[in-house]
Amino acid sequence: MDVLLFVLMLTLGLIGSFFSGLLGIGGAIINYPMLLFVPDWLGVAHFSPQEVSAISMFQVFFASLSGVLAFRRRNGKDSPLIHRGLVKDMGISILAGSLLGGIFSKFLSAQSINFVYGILAIAAVVLMLIKNRGSERITAEVSYNRSIAIPSAFIVGIMSGIVGAGGSFVLIPIMLTVLKIPTRITIASSLAIVFISAIGGVLGKLTAGHIPIWPVLFTVIGSVIGAPLGSRASAGINVNVLRYGLLILICATAIKIWSGIL
């Protein structure tokens, strides 16, 4: 891999994970279009949707792993904010879905993978516009509807496994607005659930193939650098302005994806 591609992949990984840490959303919704279009526009490389989803999945795995480790250092291994029952129910379900999606992506055409991303992009825009309804109150007992939590996590896992996402940008609104989980418990628990999802997705991608090793490596390095910077910067930046800017970016990407499909 030449130096220009190395620098580009490192930069894209850093930018995607920076905004992920800044806005608290899944990095894949940003990384997928950047990896798909930017190297091709610059004439540096051309990645197929299968390769882009593989790169993105590995990035999500390492980013979520670093997030889980950081959370455990700050809050302790037995923090009550991580709801074990919720993580177990949704984690096992999303693991199965992401593993299935990752394997199934091998048999999908480029247009089909872009179609799935187009659906997720629309979902991301809608969910980012909906005001979260999670309570700030932390209670000893958290009740939720398992008949909604388990199948919804499975569906999110399948779609996330196909495009190489962890699914947090869909999971968090579901947990807040549908399952009525308190906000702090949602954030902590979703981090663990997304990591479990990423495990299934990575295993699925390893089975399916289409893994460009060097681009994956340098994108992951950039992600490890960018995520902490984004988290620190979030304290001093008007995140609402950036969030609406991101909405415009996602909308533009979705329009381009759908124009190519239709």
Q: Residue 137: its pLDDT value, please?
A: 56
Q: Residue 174: its pLDDT value, please?
A: 85
- Burial readout 225-258 (b: 16 or more C-beta within 10 A, e: otherwise): ebbeebbeeeeeeeeeeebeebeebbeebbeebe
Task: Give the mean pLDDT of the chain.
Answer: 80
Contacts of 50 (CB under 8 A, 6+ apart): 105, 106, 108, 110, 113, 208, 210
pLDDT over 60 at 14, yes or no: yes
- Find out whether 139 and 182 touch, Cβ atoms under 8 Å: yes
- In the chain, % of residues over pLDDT 70: 82
Q: Residue 252: its pLDDT value, please?
A: 77
Contacts of residues 123-126 at CB distance under 8 Å and 24 or more positions apart, as own/partner, are 123/170, 124/25, 124/29, 124/169, 124/170, 124/250, 125/247, 125/250, 125/251, 125/254
For the CA atoms of 245, 58, 175, 17, the dihedral, rounded to the nearest 10 degrees, stands at -30
Alpha helices in the chain (DSSP H): 3-23, 28-41, 49-75, 84-104, 110-129, 146-163, 168-173, 183-208, 213-233, 239-261
Number of domains in the chain: 1
pLDDT over 90 at 229, yes or no: no
pTM of the shown model: 0.77
- Find out whether 254 and 41 touch, Cβ atoms under 8 Å: no
For the CA atoms of 57, 249, 1, 18, the dihedral, rounded to the nearest 10 degrees, stands at -70
User: What does the pLDDT look like over 188-205, one tens digit per residue?
Assistant: 788 788 888 888 888 888
In order of 142, 223, 224, 256, the CA distances from 160 in angstroms are 26, 18, 21, 20
Longest dimension (CA), the chain: 55
> Which of 209-213, 237-241, 257-261 shows the lowest per-residue confidence on average (mean pLDDT)?
237-241
Tell me the range of 130-139, 207-216, 249-258 where mean pLDDT is highest: 207-216
State the residue range of the domain holding 192.
3-261
- In the chain, % of residues over pLDDT 90: 13
User: What does the pLDDT look like over 125-163, one tens digit per residue?
Assistant: 777 677 655 555 555 567 889 999 999 999 999 998 898
User: What does the pLDDT look like over 45-93, one tens digit per residue?
Assistant: 889 888 988 898 888 888 777 767 766 665 555 555 678 889 899 999 9
